[in-house]
Amino acid sequence: MPLDRKSESGAEAHLRALEGLYRSAPINQLFESHLELPEAGRSRIRFAIGQESFHAAGAAHGTLYFKMMDDAAFYAANSMVSDRFLLTTAFNLHFTKPMRVGEAIAEGRWISGRRRVFVAEARIVDSTGEECARGTGTFLRSSIALSGLAGYGSD
């Protein structure tokens, strides 16, 4: 069901629980990153780019771009759904600048959808504020209850 806007404390609790879910995902042990959900429909992931994520030509591999943008768009979309886990069904990614060592931010924004299919966009900006990539994802409501996931709401 869509997030109940009447209960601000419930909405805020949902956002914090999603942040806990991000922290608990085993894949995130491989990436130095931090998710913030400032409001429903928006996300921000601050992450570090190290040489261990470089390809042979000395810039971040596309894996890092995809991971951070998919997560940013996903969490922006899933912040609009308080009962079910969403699944990525498609993601279109455009690379605009190589990422080098340093800090970066992936920003996500929910675009549309409130029932079954959700669309969200994301972009990455580097420490100078320049855009490095942008993309759009499609996410589908699954049968997986958020409340049944161990990390949902954990600190």
pTM for this entry: 0.92
Q: Is residue 1 part of a domain?
A: no
Tell me the pLDDT band of 37, cut-offs 50, 70 and 90: very high
CATH of the domain at 106: 3.10.129.10
Q: Are 135 and 85 in contact (CB under 8 A)?
A: no
pLDDT at 25: 96
Q: What band does 96 get if pLDDT is binned at 50, 70 and 90?
A: very high
Q: Is residue 3 part of a domain?
A: no
Predicted local distance difference test score (pLDDT) of residue 155? 61
Predicted confidence (pLDDT) at residue 7 exceeds the cutoff of 70: no
Domain containing residue 50: 8-148
DSSP assignment of 120-144, as one string?
EEEEEEETTS-EEEEEEEEEEEEEE
Query: For the chain, what is the domain count?
Result: 1
